[in-house]
Amino acid sequence: MGEFVPRFERAFAELCEVPHAVACSNGTTALHLAMESLSIGPGDEVIIPAFTLIVSANTVLQTGAKPVLVDVRPDTWCIDPALIERKITPRTRAILCVHMYGHPCDMEAIVRIADRHGVYVIEDAAQAHGATVKDRPVGSWGDAGCFSFYANKILTTGEGGMVVSHRREVADRAALLRNQAFEQVRFVHREVGFNYRMTNMQAAIGLAQCENFPDRIRRKKELAERYDELLRDDSDFDRPVQLPHCRNVYWMYGIVLKPSFGRAMPEVRRMLSEAGIETRAFFVPLNLQPVFQGRHPRWPDLRGEYPVSESLGGNGLYLPSGFELTPEDQAFVVERLRTCKR
Ligand SMILES: *Cc1c(COP(=O)(O)O)cnc(C)c1O
pLDDT digits (tens, 9 = 90+) for 239-293: 999 999 999 999 999 999 999 999 999 999 999 999 999 999 999 999 999 999 9
- The whole-angstrom separation of Cα 230 and Cα 290 is 37
**pLDDT tens digits for 28-67?**
999 999 999 999 999 999 999 999 999 999 999 999 999 9
pLDDT above 90: residue 27: yes
Give the N- to C-terminal CA distance of the chain in Å, as an integer: 55
pLDDT above 90: residue 185: no
CATH number of 4-211: 3.40.640.10
Q: Indicate if 214-339 has the same CATH topology as 4-211.
A: no
Mean pLDDT of the chain: 96
Cα-only R_g, the chain: 20
| Ligand 1 environment, Cβ below 6 A | 26-28, 53, 55, 98, 124, 126-127, 148, 150, 161
**pLDDT tens digits for 192-220?**
999 999 999 999 999 999 999 999 999 99
Residue 239, C-beta contacts closer than 8 angstroms, at least 6 positions apart: 227, 228, 231, 253, 254, 255
8 Å CB contact between 110 and 98: no
| Neighbour-count burial of 26, counting CB atoms closer than 10 A to its CB (0-12 exposed, 13-18 middle, 19+ buried) | buried
pLDDT category of residue 302 using cuts at 50, 70 and 90: confident
Q: Residue 78 Cα, ligand 1 centroid: separation in angstroms?
A: 15
User: Which atom of ligand 1 is nearest the CA belonging to 52?
Assistant: 13
- The whole-angstrom separation of Cα 342 and Cα 339 is 8
Which residue's alpha carbon is at the smallest distance from atom 3 of ligand 1? 27
Query: 281 has which bridge partners?
Result: 317
8 Å CB contact between 120 and 94: yes
In this prediction, residue 276 carries a pLDDT of 97
Residue 167, C-beta contacts closer than 8 angstroms, at least 6 positions apart: 20, 143, 144
Q: Residue 236 Cα, ligand 1 centroid: separation in angstroms?
A: 30
Question: What is the CATH architecture assignment of 214-339?
Answer: Alpha-Beta Complex (3.90)
* Mean pLDDT, residues 288-300: 91
pLDDT above 90: residue 314: yes
Percent with pLDDT over 90 in the chain: 94
In this prediction, residue 292 carries a pLDDT of 94
Q: Residue 186 Cα, ligand 1 centroid: separation in angstroms?
A: 33
Residue 118, C-beta contacts closer than 8 angstroms, at least 6 positions apart: none
8 Å CB contact between 77 and 312: yes
pLDDT category of residue 304 using cuts at 50, 70 and 90: confident
pLDDT above 90: residue 1: no
| Cα–Cα nearest to 70, from 82, 53, 61 | 82
- Domain locations along the chain: 4-211, 214-339
Q: Residue 308 Cα, ligand 1 centroid: separation in angstroms?
A: 22
243-263 burial, b if ≥16 CB within 10 A, otherwise e?
eeebbbbbbbbbbbbeeebee
- Give a three-class secondary structure readout of the chain: CCCHHHHHHHHHHHHHCCCEEEEECCHHHHHHHHHHHCCCCCCCEEEEECCCCCHHHHHHHHHCCEEEEECECCCCCCECHHHCHHHCCCCEEEEEEECHHHCCCCHHHHHHHHHHHCCEEEEECCCCCCCEECCEECCCCCCEEEEECECCCCCCCECCEEEEECCHHHHHHHHHHHECCCCCCCCCCCCCCCECCCCHHHHHHHHHHHHCHHHHHHHHHHHHHHHHHHHCCCCCEECCCCCCCEECCCCCEEEEECHHHCCCHHHHHHHHHHCCCCCEECCCCHHHCHHHCCCCCCCCCCCCCCHHHHHHHHHEEEECCCCCCCHHHHHHHHHHHHHCCC
In this prediction, residue 264 carries a pLDDT of 97
Percent with pLDDT over 70 in the chain: 100
Q: C-alpha distances in angstroms, 186 versus 174, 181, 194, 319, 329?
A: 18, 10, 15, 51, 56
- The whole-angstrom separation of Cα 305 and Cα 168 is 39
* Mean pLDDT, residues 20-32: 98
Q: Residue 7 Cα, ligand 1 centroid: separation in angstroms?
A: 23
**pLDDT tens digits for 119-178?**
999 999 999 999 999 999 999 999 999 999 999 999 999 999 999 999 999 999 999 999
In this prediction, residue 184 carries a pLDDT of 82
8 Å CB contact between 268 and 257: yes
